[in-house]
Structure 1
Amino acid sequence: MRAEDLERVAAIEREAFTAPWKEETFRTLLGRPGAELLVLETDADGVIGYTVMWCIEDQGELANIGIAEGHRGGGLGNLLLDRTIALAVERGVRSLYLEVRESNERARKMYERRGFEEIGVRRAYYDDPREDARVLVKRL
């Protein structure tokens, strides 16, 4: 991810989430040690997806993943997730964690197909609406 991608990334973030990160949040992560920010782009549409992951020693957290609304459901989330997992392996991550809304069945199935396993629940983790998060991990 580059500084010139941030406006589009923030727009996708607003489409995808009820409590979106601000553009400045992404900006502060650029260049931060351990932070990995990836974008998925096409020639026709530019940036259509992104992930944010941070790595600390042998643990990683997939903090954010988003696909532009017109591009969802076609496997691009899988592609982006696979690339993020590969990057985690390159960085020496052995356990990759994430939280996902309990009601987000599509994402939960995607993570399950990629070998993530549920290890816990964070009660009332999300706002707007208030909802539990499922905590998942993939051993790499």
Structure 2
Amino acid sequence: MASSAETVAALAPSPRFRIRSLREGDLPRVLEIERECFSTPWKEVTFRGLMKRSDTDLLVAETEEGWLAGYAACWTVIDQSELGNVAVSPAARGAGMGGALVDAVVERIKERGSHECYLEVRESNREAQSLYGQRGFIVVGRRPRYYSLPTEDALVMRLRVGDLS
């Protein structure tokens, strides 16, 4: 059986970028991406806490030139996972990195034995909803006023990993 790193590396659909595990030295750039993409970005302490957890997968999308263009954060508890964040720098969007990151997360949570994965997405973020929907996520709920700056509802989406072929 291939290692997690080999599995993740094999998922990159293009020679222009690859998906790999986050390394300590990636954190400054990941924090930049976080600020580029979110009105209430996660803090460095949040990422450092996630990096210490054995149930968490932090993945990055890296170009051939070594530029980090995106990342994903996911954690699994027993047989249930949560996709906490997926972010791609606005300058790198449209190259398939977001989809490749989600695909890599799904492969990783399968390896961990997860049966389902949940996420929250802004109700107005149709692009992300479409990306998740193309991968089998469905809307299963709503969290009123979940987001701030601006205040907005979150749609809760779920992927039943066992339903994937």
Using structure 1 for the length normalisation, give the TM-score. 0.97
Deviation string for 1:14-68 (max 9, x for gaps)?
0000000012211121131211111111132421111110100000000011111
Query: Counterpart of 1:33 in 2: which secondary structure?
Result: coil
Residue type of the partner of 2:34?
A: E
RMSD: 0.9
Question: Is residue 3 of structure 1 aligned with residue 24 of structure 2?
Answer: yes
Deviation string for 1:74-124 (max 9, x for gaps)?
211111111111111011111000000000000000011100011000000
Calculate percent identity across the aligned residue pairs: 46
Alignment of 1:20-59 (within 5 A): 20-59=41-80
Query: Counterpart of 1:73 in 2: which secondary structure?
Result: coil
* Structure 1 segments unaligned to the other structure (5+ residues): none
Per the alignment, residue 151 of structure 2 pairs with: 130
- How many pairs align? 140
Of 20, 29, 38 in structure 2, the residue corresponding to residue 17 of structure 1 is 38
Alpha-carbon separation, structure 1, partners of 2:71 and 2:102 = 9
Alpha-carbon separation, structure 2, partners of 1:52 and 1:31 = 13
Residue type of the partner of 2:121?
A: V
Alignment of 1:60-139 (within 5 A): 60-139=81-160
Alpha-carbon separation, structure 1, partners of 2:66 and 2:38 = 21
* Structure 2 segments unaligned to the other structure (5+ residues): 1-21
Structure 1 runs, 4 residues or longer, greater than 4 Å off: none
Using structure 2 for the length normalisation, give the TM-score. 0.82
